[in-house]
Amino acid sequence: MFTSDKSLFNLYKKKLIKKFGEVDIESNAQPFNFTDYYKEEIGENLIQKLFSFSTLIRQDELAEIKIITNDLENNNIDKNIKKNTIHHKRKINLDPGYIILDKYILASTKNGPSRIYLNQGIYAEITLRFINKSFVPCEYTYPNYKTSKYIDFLNSVRQKYKLQLKENSNKNSIL
């Protein structure tokens, strides 16, 4: 998620936890200064945090999750936020995605040459591929996801995911 108002991180984190379960890994806040694309809509001096949720999802849930996060962005804004943040359409941007062992996928409402239509106006894009023990950006990957901070964070999420898969496999073999 990214915003120009750092105080929104905890508010939206709580909203996301209600929808998707507990956060198991959270990045530090970091500047999101890779583009001016969101300046008019969200504001200046954007900062970003990444969150990983402990509940695993099915890959076919991504479109529905993006619709939920779009609703949170656009329709579920507290009155206090509207008073304190002036003239911007959205206060925050929420970009859900998921990790599987060989890639990181992001959801988007925008079509593009590297995006595949899922349903309900939602597209998916392979943002990073896992090659030689680390995530590697694609040629079209957004600049923020090409940085070592993002890649290191997502590598740690992938490691946690591998452990979850192993734990789930062990549970299934016991039953």
Weakest mean pLDDT among 8-12, 39-43, 125-129, 168-172:
168-172
Domain boundaries, the chain: 2-174
pLDDT higher than 50, residue 175:
no
Q: Tell me the C-alpha to C-alpha distance, in Å, between residue 106 and each of 11, 65, 80, 149, 157.
A: 22, 11, 30, 17, 15
pLDDT higher than 70, residue 145:
yes
Can you name the residues that pair with 53 across neighbouring β-strands? 23
Q: What is the pLDDT of residues 61-113, one digit of tens each?
A: 999 999 999 999 987 455 445 444 455 578 999 999 999 999 999 999 999 99
Contact between residue 49 and residue 94 where contact means Cβ atoms under 8 Å apart: no
Can you name the residues that pair with 2 across neighbouring β-strands? 48, 93
Tell me, what's the pLDDT at 42? Answer: 85
Tell me, what's the pLDDT at 84? Answer: 46
- Provide the whole-model pTM: 0.87
Q: How many whole angstroms separate alpha carbon 99 and alpha carbon 153? A: 12
Question: What mean pLDDT, rounded, does the chain reach?
Answer: 89
Tell me, what's the pLDDT at 21? Answer: 96
Helix (H, G, I), strand (E, B) or coil at 144: helix
* Mean pLDDT, range 115-132, rounded to an integer: 98
**What is the amino acid identity at position 21?**
G
Q: Which two tokens stand for residue 16?
A: 């996301």
Q: Which two tokens stand for residue 105?
A: 């996928």
Can you name the residues that pair with 47 across neighbouring β-strands? 3, 31
